[in-house]
Structure 1
Amino acid sequence: MVKQNQNIKSLIRIGLLGILFFFSYCSKKEDTTVTPVTTDNTAEINKWVYDTMEDAYFWYDQMPTLATLDTQAKTEDFFEKLIYQRETTDRFSLITDDIDALEKEFNGVSKIFGIRYLLGYTDNTNTNIGLFLSYVVPQSPAANVGLQRGDIILKINGQNITSSNFSTLMNNDNVTFTLGKISNNSIVADTKTLAVAKAEVTENPVGFSSIIQKSSANKTIGYLLYTQFVPGLDQGDTLKYDNQLRKIFGDFKAAGVNELVLDLRFNPGGYISSATTLASLVVKDLTSNKIFFKDQYNSKYQAYFKQQYGANIFNNYFSTEPNNIGNNLSRVFVLTSTGTASSSELVINGLRPYMDVITIGDHTYGKNLFGTLISDDQNRWKWGLYVMLGITTNVNGESSYGNVNGISPTYQVDDNLIPFSPFGDDTEPLFRKALEIMGVPLASGTGARVAATKAISLPNHEHLSDNPINNEKRMIQKQYLKISP
């Protein structure tokens, strides 16, 4: 029954677009320009948006009727009229006029400098802000000019950074960053400047991995920094990154890792398939009939799937992973921030019924919703949607984190001590807390790039990316089945 159910799920999730009558998952085309059928087809586009949402949207029954809407309105504004409780509930559905570009970005390909950072105030006036680099994407333009985790950017193109000019300055494709430093407990500009130009980068989601020996406590620690859930390349090796995860856990297994730290503080989510791969490498007592999560669609689809396939169709199982290390673990540590979202939260919630999951850092973003990318299968335009299809729960039906408070940390630890220490260093605050819980004797000192340290005041506790789509939160079902219930 489990195997049969998995095959059905595969048909639903992998072959989903074949029977759509008005939309499909994004096709790959060279031309990215909008080619409308008529000079002004706004009403036609808006009607397509409405029909798509009325069919697929989790809250389709809460939408206003089409007769009450202005179909000639700007498409972005029209779309917003359909969203259910934008501020508190559906903070995630979005619309684009370039679906091909959005699909590439969801697959980890984007035009970026390659930095993630905290915005922090640089003085007591809370006017000027700095970019405190918490992660630099390997082989990105930022990495290529020498920027590293722990660096401070105080000026962009010679201008002090403020909340009012920040977005404009970062929107430039070519910039000159002025670096900062800590002097006498103050943050001041350095003489060093770096010119950086955005470029298209395919980001490897494995940002860092290491096996850390703490023989004094009989601990062999596997440390994985994972920045997004992407199975592989957009074209070519479509399982490249999932297989990289498997290789890393094979190394963990061979080394006898008995403690695991998953660093998901920069991870806004991604594909459910990769979340399943990661969770299956971690879970204790892995079997192919163990439920990872359950999904729930809108009332039409819920009834249809249950009638066609039975109630078990909503069960999503762990995958068979030979490099699973769960039986050598009593728990897993997950480092989190307010930007930890979607598929990251799915992993935390899905593992909790089977093992102790200790979260360290800040509360997560709070997204238990999954969605998919939908484009027009008739290729009349490049408009597309990322639509919330439903919610997920763990095997026990638990899913209480889908709100602005997210998943509360087991241990609240501030991540604002700059310059940031290297990943896996004893002085890095979140990892240090994990070591403390493990009973590892802690050394003093610092491994930071700059020895002086300072706690910064933060207007926002989220590690932001210079790629705006990475600041969106996503749990993506690869494709979507349209039915006519």
Structure 2
Amino acid sequence: MRNKILLPFFLLALLCAACKEKNVEPATSTETNQWIYDQMKYWYYWNDHITANPDLTQSPEDFFESLLYRYDAGTRPDGDRFSWIQESADELKASLSGETKTTGMQYKLFYYPSGSTNVIGVVLYVAPGSSASDAGFRRGDIFSSVGGTKLTGDNYRQLLNAGGALSYTISKFDVDDVLKETTVKRKVAPVVLQENPVFFDTTYTYDAHKIGYVVYHQFIPSPNGSSGKEYDQKLDDIFAKFKAAQVNALVLDLRYNPGGYVSSAINLASLITKGTTNDVFYYKEYNPQVTETNRKKYGDSYFYDKFVSKSQNISSSLQKLIVLTSSRTASASELLINGLKPFMDVTIIGEKTVGKNVGSVTITDSDGKIKWGMQPIVSKSLNSLKQSDYATGFVPNTTIGEGIILYPYGSPKDPLLGEALFEITGTHVTRMAHHTRILSEKGEEIESTIEKKAGGSNMFFDR
């Protein structure tokens, strides 16, 4: 059976057979480490840097780390930024399919005002049916205290990662643009949740411009445990509507998309591309050992994937493609951009992307004795022109951040969407409020929960 690859924003991922419930004795640390070593010596992209005499007495996590050819700006600029290991293989596989224990609320954190130690959280989006949604959280909400304690640079990690139910105190800007805490408190608790990545879509008509807009949070074909393609089908249905409306411009919002399955990237690319099913979407470059083994087994076709035929493809009417990005856009999202570039112009608006032009595989033990799962980098990805020059990220055609004041998805007041509509129509359909720009300049961003989804900017996998 052909191994599959997972891309983190460009991670190729090998999905091994699911572990079955068996009455087997768990492996010792030494046995686990030997299994890690054997898999890494074969699959790891930089396997020529793995020692021949590893220390098998370490913990599995430390042992895995000791094998990696880690990135260093000075000594290893070509090194690994993305491989990771997880103690539960089942949890790893579930998270890669969008199933995690979560409140359903993704947010980013700021020092506000800049230069202070005060920390605020700004809600990016909320999964429907989640605890956060039930509590009333919406995109753009701001919180400044957790459990009655104000967030600071010293305590925010401890407070936000305390686990269990947490109570958030909401803050709002007054008429003078001063952020003040309200008396509103919202309590949420993490539960196991399957997140639907196809989050929002709509169309706009401005004179002769018919514009499709879709928000896509992760490249996932279906819910965890499903053998279908429910989420891919939802995208197909959206593009069928776009085709019926004869949209001549598309705005693809990937600003919070850390990557996912290559199969879903191929599906989406095939809905957009002006290429054909004879055209290569991307090539995969492995270490010499994997290359030799699989060329003998499968031939050259193992090392590339082509576009597929989609009746919902909108290329016949499409004149403009704009992708919205942020510093969290990675892996399969970048794979999509790189794979489309040889066939059409791709305009990028937002912030520079992560820069993941490599892919990983999900490796688990099919016998169930080894409970760990790992996601090592195993390949480098290139488009049909053999280009892979985005290791430091794609630089936007127009650089713009979304700031602290967030608007609902689909609102032209959103700075990134507003700029995209201007790029398409040549007219500012709405003007960003003055206070939005001023407040955006006053905050210093720290981090985002998007970075923690399925290992951070590490998702680029196939199935």
TM-score (norm 2): 0.90
Matched, 1:304 2:293: yes
Q: What do the CA deviations read for 1:323-358 (whole angstroms, capped 9, x no partner)?
A: 000121123100001110000000000000000000
Q: Partner of 1:3 in structure 2?
A: none
Between the aligned partners of 2:15 and 2:323, the Cα distance in structure 1 is 36
Query: What's the CA shift for 1:239?
Result: 0.5
Counting only pairs closer than 5 Å after superposition, residues 309-388 of structure 1 correspond to structure 2 as 309-388=298-377
**2:144 aligned residue:** 154
Q: CA deviation at 1:472?
A: 3.9
Q: How big is the shift at 1:301?
A: 1.7
* 1:248 partner amino acid: I
Aligned partners of 1:26 and 1:100 also within 8 Å: no
Partner residue of 2:247?
257
Q: Kindly tell me the number of residue pairs found equivalent between the two proteins.
A: 448
SS of 2:376's equivalent in the other structure is strand
Flag structure 1 segments of 5+ consecutive residues without an equivalent: 1-10, 16-22, 479-485
Q: Note if contact 1:114-1:142 (Cα within 8 Å) is conserved in structure 2.
A: yes
In the TM superposition, what is the alpha-carbon distance from 1:273 to its structure 2 partner?
0.3
Look up the match of 2:282: 293
Q: Quick one: which amino acid aligns to residue 291 of structure 2?
A: Q
Partner residue, 2:169: 178
Partner of 2:418: 432
- Does the 8 A contact of 1:123 with 1:187 survive in 2? no
Distance 1:426 1:75, change over 3 A: same
Distance 1:451 1:309, change over 3 A: closer
Distance 1:462 1:321 in 2: 38
Moved more, 424-433 or 273-282: 424-433
What does residue 19 of structure 1 align with? none
**Conserved in 2, the CA contact under 8 Å of 1:360 and 1:433?**
yes
What amino acid is aligned across from residue 294 of structure 1 in structure 2?
Y
Q: 1:430 to 1:24 in 2, by over 3 A?
A: closer
SS for the counterpart of 2:42 is helix
| Cα gap change, 1:237 to 1:71, in 2 (>3 Å) | closer
Q: Following the alignment from structure 1 to structure 2, what is the Cα–Cα distance between the partners of residues 456 and 136? A: 25
Structure 1 residues 451, 43: CA separation in 2 closer, same or farther (over 3 Å shift)?
closer
Could you tell me which of 191, 195, 201 is aligned with 1:203?
Answer: 195
Does structure 2 retain, via aligned residues, the 8 Å contact 1:26–1:373?
no
Q: Secondary structure at the match of 2:213?
A: strand
SS in 1 for 2:418: helix
Match of 1:48 in 2: 35
**Which amino acid in 2 is paired with 1:52?**
Q
Q: Hey, what's the Cα distance between the residues in 2 that align with 1:363 and 1:457? A: 21
Contact between 2:250 and 2:321, CA under 8 Å: does it hold in 1? yes
Give 1:34 shift: 10
Q: In structure 2, how many angstroms separate the alpha carbons of the residues matched to 1:247 and 1:95?
A: 36
User: Is residue 420 of structure 1 aligned with residue 409 of structure 2?
Assistant: no
Alpha-carbon distance in structure 2 between the residues aligned to 1:120 and 1:34: 48
* Residue range with higher mean Cα deviation, 98-107 or 305-314: 305-314
Q: List per-residue Cα deviations over 1:149-201 (Å, max 9, x = no partner).
A: 11101111111112332222222221000011112222221111101111111
Answer yes or no: is the 8 Å Cα contact 1:343–1:474 preserved in 2. Answer: yes
Match of 1:74 in 2: 59
Which of 124, 131, 151 in structure 2 is aligned with 1:134?
Answer: 124
Contact 1:426 1:442 in 2 (8 A): no
Other structure's SS at 1:12 match = coil
Name the aligned partner's letter for residue 25 of structure 1.
Answer: C
Mark the CA change 1:445 to 1:406 in structure 2 (over 3 Å): closer, same or farther: closer
- Superposed displacement of residue 206, structure 1: 0.8
Q: Deviations over 1:372-405 (max 9, x none)?
A: 1111223213112112110110000110112xx3
Corresponding residue for 1:189? Answer: 181
Q: Give, in whole Å, the separation in 2 of the partners of 1:474 and 1:44.
A: 27
Aligned pair in 2 of structure 1 residues 308, 452: CA closer, same or farther (>3 Å)? closer
> Secondary structure of the residue that 2:2 maps to in structure 1?
helix
Please say if residues 371 and 390 of structure 1, whose CA atoms lie closer than 8 Å, have aligned partners that are also in contact: yes
Q: Give, in angstroms, the shift of residue 123 of structure 1.
A: 2.5
Tell me which of 226, 234, 240 is aligned to 2:216.
Answer: 226
CA pair 129-135 structure 1, distance change in 2 beyond 3 A: same
Structure 1 134/272 Cα, relative in aligned 2: closer, same or farther at 3 Å? same
Q: Give, in whole Å, the separation in 2 of the partners of 1:444 and 1:468.
A: 33
| 1:461 shift after superposition | 7.0
In the alignment, the residues of structure 1 paired with residue 360 and residue 15 of structure 2 have an alpha-carbon distance, to the nearest angstrom, of 14
Structure 2 SS opposite 1:102: helix
Residues 327, 470 of structure 1: CA spacing in aligned structure 2 closer, same or farther, 3 A cutoff? farther
> Contact 1:268–1:344 at 8 Å: present in 2 too?
yes
- Aligned twin of 1:240: 230
Q: Which AA in structure 1 matches 2:349?
A: I
Q: List alignment gaps of at least 5 residues for structure 2.
A: 6-13
Quote the Cα distance in structure 2 between the aligned partners of 1:118 and 1:324: 35
Instruction: Find out whether 1:454 has 2:439 as its counterpart.
Output: yes
Counterpart secondary structure, 1:375? coil
Distance 2:353 2:452 in 1: 20
Q: CA deviation at 1:300?
A: 1.1
* 1:29 to partner: Cα distance: 5.0
Q: 1:331 and 1:353 mapped to 2: Cα distance?
A: 15
Q: Matches of residues 21-100 of structure 1 in structure 2 within 5 Å?
A: 25=16, 27=18, 35-37=25-27, 41-65=28-52, 67=53, 69-87=54-72, 89-100=79-90
Counterpart CA distance in 1 for 2:237 and 2:42 is 41
**Deviation of the 1:459 alpha carbon:** 4.3
TM-score after normalising by structure 1: 0.86
The answer to whether the Cα contact below 8 Å between 1:138 and 1:207 also exists between their aligned partners in 2 is no
Q: CA RMSD in A?
A: 2.5
Cα distance between partner residues in 2 of 1:389 and 1:176: 42
State the alpha-carbon separation in 1 of the partners of residues 436 and 445 from structure 2: 25
Say which SS state the counterpart of residue 426 (structure 1) adopts.
Answer: coil
1:101 aligns with 2:87: no
Which of 151, 155, 161 aligns to 1:165? It is 155
Structure 2 counterpart SS, 1:373: coil
Q: Aligned letter for 1:379?
A: G
Asked if the contact 1:134/1:463 (under 8 Å) is kept, the reply is no
Give the aligned residue type for 2:191. Answer: A
What CA distance in whole angstroms lies between the structure 2 residues aligned with 1:407 and 1:45? 38
Which protein, 1 or 2, shows the higher relative CO under an 8 Å CA cutoff with sep ≥ 6?
Answer: 2
